[in-house]
Amino acid sequence: MSSEFNELLQRPHGDEAQIWVVGTREQVNHIINEFQVKRVITDRSQFSPLIPAPLAQGRYMALLMR
Protein backbone atom coordinates (compact mmCIF):
# COMPACT_ATOMS: atom_id res chain seq x y z
CA MET A 1 0.00 0.00 0.00
CA SER A 2 1.14 3.54 -0.56
CA SER A 3 2.10 5.81 2.30
CA GLU A 4 -0.72 8.23 1.33
CA PHE A 5 -3.29 5.47 1.84
CA ASN A 6 -1.75 4.44 5.15
CA GLU A 7 -1.97 8.04 6.35
CA LEU A 8 -5.68 8.12 5.52
CA LEU A 9 -6.30 4.96 7.51
CA GLN A 10 -4.48 6.23 10.59
CA ARG A 11 -6.61 9.34 11.03
CA PRO A 12 -9.47 9.03 13.49
CA HIS A 13 -12.68 9.23 11.46
CA GLY A 14 -15.34 9.09 14.12
CA ASP A 15 -18.68 8.54 12.46
CA GLU A 16 -17.70 9.80 9.00
CA ALA A 17 -18.97 7.68 6.13
CA GLN A 18 -16.53 6.38 3.54
CA ILE A 19 -17.09 5.54 -0.11
CA TRP A 20 -14.56 3.14 -1.65
CA VAL A 21 -14.31 2.93 -5.43
CA VAL A 22 -12.40 -0.08 -6.79
CA GLY A 23 -12.00 -0.99 -10.45
CA THR A 24 -9.79 -0.42 -13.45
CA ARG A 25 -8.14 2.97 -13.69
CA GLU A 26 -10.70 4.05 -16.31
CA GLN A 27 -13.66 2.84 -14.23
CA VAL A 28 -12.51 4.64 -11.09
CA ASN A 29 -11.85 7.88 -12.98
CA HIS A 30 -15.26 7.62 -14.66
CA ILE A 31 -17.05 7.15 -11.33
CA ILE A 32 -15.18 10.09 -9.77
CA ASN A 33 -16.19 12.25 -12.76
CA GLU A 34 -19.77 11.01 -12.44
CA PHE A 35 -19.85 11.97 -8.74
CA GLN A 36 -18.75 15.48 -9.69
CA VAL A 37 -21.26 15.85 -12.53
CA LYS A 38 -24.10 14.64 -10.28
CA ARG A 39 -22.87 17.04 -7.57
CA VAL A 40 -22.23 14.34 -4.99
CA ILE A 41 -18.82 16.03 -4.60
CA THR A 42 -17.80 19.59 -5.37
CA ASP A 43 -14.20 18.83 -6.34
CA ARG A 44 -12.18 15.77 -7.38
CA SER A 45 -9.73 16.54 -4.59
CA GLN A 46 -12.27 15.19 -2.09
CA PHE A 47 -11.19 11.70 -3.22
CA SER A 48 -7.88 10.22 -2.15
CA PRO A 49 -5.27 9.85 -4.88
CA LEU A 50 -5.78 6.87 -7.18
CA ILE A 51 -3.69 3.96 -5.85
CA PRO A 52 -3.28 0.29 -6.78
CA ALA A 53 -5.78 -1.88 -4.88
CA PRO A 54 -3.78 -4.00 -2.42
CA LEU A 55 -5.68 -7.28 -2.93
CA ALA A 56 -6.71 -7.04 -6.59
CA GLN A 57 -4.03 -7.15 -9.26
CA GLY A 58 -4.66 -4.67 -12.06
CA ARG A 59 -7.29 -2.77 -10.05
CA TYR A 60 -7.12 0.70 -8.56
CA MET A 61 -8.98 2.38 -5.75
CA ALA A 62 -9.91 5.80 -4.41
CA LEU A 63 -11.52 6.74 -1.12
CA LEU A 64 -14.04 9.52 -0.44
CA MET A 65 -14.55 10.72 3.11
CA ARG A 66 -17.97 12.31 3.61
pLDDT of res. 32:
95
Compute the distance between CA of residue 24 and CA of residue 4 in angstroms, rounded to an integer. 19
Q: Residue 57 gets which letter from DSSP?
A: T
pLDDT at position 8, please?
A: 60
pLDDT at residue 60 in the model: 95
**What string of pLDDT tens digits covers the 66 residues of the chain?**
566 666 666 655 566 788 999 999 999 999 999 999 999 999 989 999 999 988 888 999 999 977
Is 0.75 surpassed by the pTM of this model?
no
pLDDT at 16: 77
